[in-house]
Structure 1
């Protein structure tokens, strides 16, 4: 069990890792870079996160938790949907708007872009990224199941994969890396995701 002090130290280390990734990029994302940013020795960092993959996993898990909390706060729904009632089109539209609003934060987008860049050449990080997207798809599949309960689970997962691909692709294309954003483009992203989730 982690002590309060240990938990606070983990938060500080994760904050430092995010700063490195979002301000200096993946080229400066070795354990020594994370430790230096946090003002600790590498051995101290490795006490909490033995490998870079462990640290990146914790960064992504925290990012996913924050996203789920924002979805819950903004919509009043459980992050996984509300199992006591069907998911309405209006519920889903609110969830999608919150997800797309996260893309307005360039630091958030940069965090993912830099982690994807590391994953392109580091199989351990790639495995962590696949694990993260497996969890993400799982949450979306639960939403699809709330909207279309009669479909088989494999179909819920397939539709969730398509929705995640659409939203994640939008994060890169709509960032300052890709094309300019437009209200019409956002409308089409939401319309397409709604159709996938609700089977329209």
Structure 2
């Protein structure tokens, strides 16, 4: 952003520009995203627009930042519900179901806009959202930790790597489904839950083995 809004009137103008630009970008796509149309939809002059944004990429970055906040808010819903249940431990199956519901909900926030931001809008040279990335990965690390067997002796490095691998797998599936318009599919949800559970349970079994514990369902007594 070229000039940060300081007065209420300026903030209203910037909000109007970003809101209008969001609608234009979702409808037109990046190739036909123009400052002239944004200004017309926002009800401001092109000169006023350029007081705050040097070019259309800067506007797109403001849209991206706002959208990322909406994504985190959608992802927070299922996790907050867990925390409201009297602090009781939630079974892994249910935790994964809620997590998957949150991821799908997060990617359902203005699907047309999400697709354009992911597939069409170039990243600005200084585009970086470390706070978003850190918080998003924290959600995956918490999920991985909830499915990890105790006593593995992991210093957190493996959980960190597992969280990144899991997020890449889940994001790939969800983004592909979004492009096909399949985010509302019950089959997508059930298969994604199956994928995540299988990965977490496999890690749990491997953790038990490293800790010297027998896999679940296996008698640890020596053979006579």
TM-score where L is the length of structure 1: 0.70
Q: 1:62 deviation in Å? A: 0.9
Equivalent position to 1:112, from 106, 114, 120: 114
**Whose helix fraction is larger, Structure 1's or Structure 2's?**
1
Deviation of 1:143 (Å): 2.3
Distance in 2 (CA, whole Å) between partners of 1:152 and 1:16 is 48
Aligned-partner Cα distance in 1 for 2:52–2:88: 41
Structure 2: gaps (5+ residues): 147-152, 205-224
Aligned CA distance change for structure 1 residues 64 and 188 (closer, same or farther; 3 Å): same
Q: Larger radius of gyration, structure 1 or 2?
A: 2
Q: Aligned partners of 2:54, 2:119: CA distance in 1, in Å?
A: 21
Long gaps (5+) in structure 1: 79-83
Paired with 1:114 and 1:86, the residues of 2 have a C-alpha distance of: 39
How many angstroms apart in 2 are the aligned matches of 1:180 and 1:62? 21
Equivalent in the alignment of 2:99:
95
Kindly state the Cα deviation for residue 173 of structure 1 after the two structures are TM-superposed. 2.6
Aligned partner of 2:142 in structure 1 is: 146
Distance 1:114 1:164, change over 3 A: same
2:178 matched residue in structure 1: 175
Change in 2 beyond 3 A, CA 1:28/1:187: same
Aligned equivalents of 2:154 and 2:60: distance in 1? 35
Aligned length: 187
What secondary structure does 1:124 align onto?
A: coil
Identify the match of residue 26 of structure 1 among 10, 23, 30: 30
SS at match of 1:27: coil
The CA deviation string for residues 41-78 of structure 1, in whole angstroms up to 9 with x for no partner, is 22212222223232122111111111222333444169
Query: Could you tell me the TM-score, scaled by structure 2's length?
Result: 0.63
Give RMSD over aligned pairs. 3.6
